[in-house]
């Protein structure tokens, strides 16, 4: 009887399988066996099978995914949490979706970071047929419902991923009006999606693709990319230094309200002052933190190995109870000074000595 049931479940499409599973009140063990039947889904967990791997540029690969039935699509500009197993441990990182929302095969485009645990593993080990855990799409760095008349998609390095999803969405939806796609890269060979960008520019006369190669971006460089930048609804994603320059320029032009940003890493606070002491209650150890360092960085430098995911205050993997002391969130500027508050180590910077529950 059980064999017949399993065979019927295996043949049924994802939605029917979930319905049947719910009716049978399947427990964890059954979920495991169902996951064995189809590795791209299990109860309560999203997974995706890697369908294709594309070499985009040196050290940049796109992983085209075939998600399980739980996938509900994304909005252009959003990111997902990807979970993989590296050396026996399950680790998570955030990746922006680079594909158009209409594409049934979502894609992430990953730059290999020197010494990076997940990106390096993905580049070396993740092949077609491999399975990754996939969180729900999240984030509010998205195109507005009504496309603005003048758009600037501005990116640097792997920051191209969310804005490429936006460009693909606009082009696919026939809404490719007055759009500048401006990208900064070390060299022409490092420009991600170069072939598709050229093809889109040839197809859409109102799309202008502008590149800034080599030298770090400055105000003249920005104005060369988009002389009317202050008039454009701008979507920016790139390395911290480039984003800081852009923020200053938009502010100087009185156009900060037109600048929307996605960060892959925590902005560097201006460091100054003395070291502070992080007292760790559970282990009894103590770590000295450099001024301006996030608690995660300080703990890592001090030899601790706290769990982390996005390093950006998104995934909550590094959430930790602060017993006493004051921290500031380097992304939002929020201050936590009450005792026994939960904070995220990856974005918190100490304003004095602290005691953590670790
Ligand atoms: C919203 C969002 C979207 C993103 N989208 C993309 C995307 O589309 N494409 C993309 O390529 N990336 C993206 N990222 C970045 C991505 O999440 C990862 O941060 C990146 O791939 C590096 O992860 P990793 O595991 O390879 O590196 P990690 O292992 O996390 O290391 C990161 C850095 O920290 C250093 N480090 C690690 N451990 C220690 C330690 N113990 N002590 C000291 N230093 C240490 C490493 O040397 C390295 O320089 C995104 C991030 C966010 C927050």
CA of 123 to the centre of ligand 1 (A): 13
Provide the whole-model pTM.
0.84
Residue whose CA is at the smallest distance from ligand 1 atom 18? 93
Residue whose CA is at the smallest distance from ligand 1 atom 41? 300
- Tens of pLDDT along 28-83? 555 544 554 455 545 456 899 999 999 999 999 999 999 988 888 999 999 999 99
Cα–Cα distance for residue pair 73/97, rounded to 1 Å: 10
Contact between 257 and 234 (Cβ < 8 Å):
no
Pocket perturbation via mutation, ligand 1, pick of 60, 94, 97 by most ligand atoms within 8 A of CB = 94
- Is the pLDDT at 26 greater than 60? The verdict is no
Ligand 1 atom showing the smallest separation from residue 314 Cα: 53
Contact between 287 and 325 (Cβ < 8 Å):
no
CA of 91 to the centre of ligand 1 (A): 11
Cα–Cα distance list, 294 to 22, 167, 286, 311, 349 (Å): 44, 34, 15, 10, 5
Cα–Cα distance for residue pair 160/169, rounded to 1 Å: 14
- Tens of pLDDT along 171-201? 998 878 999 999 999 999 999 999 999 999 9
């Amino acid at each position: 009887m059980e064999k017949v049931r399993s065979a019927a479940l295996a043949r049924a499409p994802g939605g029917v399988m979930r319905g049947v599973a719910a009716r049978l009140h399947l427990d964890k063990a059954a979920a495991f066996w169902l996951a064995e039947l189809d590795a791209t889904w299990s109860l309560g967990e999203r997974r995706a099978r890697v369908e294709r791997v594309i070499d985009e540029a040196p050290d940049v690969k796109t992983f085209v995914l075939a998600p399980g039935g739980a996938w509900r699509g994304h909005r252009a500009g959003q990111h997902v949490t990807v979970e993989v197993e590296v050396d026996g441990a399950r680790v998570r990182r955030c990746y922006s979706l680079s594909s158009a929302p209409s594409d049934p095969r979502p894609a992430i485009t990953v730059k290999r970071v020197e010494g990076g645990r997940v990106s390096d593993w993905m580049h070396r080990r993740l092949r077609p047929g491999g399975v990754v855990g996939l969180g729900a799409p999240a984030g509010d760095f998205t195109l507005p419902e009504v496309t603005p008349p003048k758009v600037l998609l501005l990116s640097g390095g792997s920051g191209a991923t969310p804005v490429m999803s936006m460009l693909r969405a606009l082009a696919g939806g026939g809404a490719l009006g007055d759009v500048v796609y401006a990208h900064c890269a070390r060299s022409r060979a490092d420009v991600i999606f170069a072939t598709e960008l050229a093809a889109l520019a040839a197809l859409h006369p109102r799309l202008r693709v502008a590149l800034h190669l080599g030298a770090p971006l400055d105000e003249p460089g920005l104005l060369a990319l988009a002389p009317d930048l202050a008039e454009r609804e701008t979507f920016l994603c790139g390395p911290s230094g480039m984003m800081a320059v852009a923020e200053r320029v938009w502010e100087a032009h009185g156009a900060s309200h037109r600048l929307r940003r996605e960060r892959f890493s925590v902005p560097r606070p201006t460091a100054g002052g003395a070291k502070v002491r992080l007292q760790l209650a559970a282990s009894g150890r103590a770590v000295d933190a450099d001024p301006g360092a996030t608690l995660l960085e300080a703990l890592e430098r001090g030899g601790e190995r706290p769990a982390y995911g996005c390093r950006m205050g998104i995934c909550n993997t590094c959430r930790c109870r602060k017993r006493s002391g004051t921290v500031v969130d380097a992304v939002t500027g929020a201050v936590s000074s009450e005792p026994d508050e939960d904070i995220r180590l990856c974005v918190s910077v100490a304003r004095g000595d602290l005691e953590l529950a670790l």
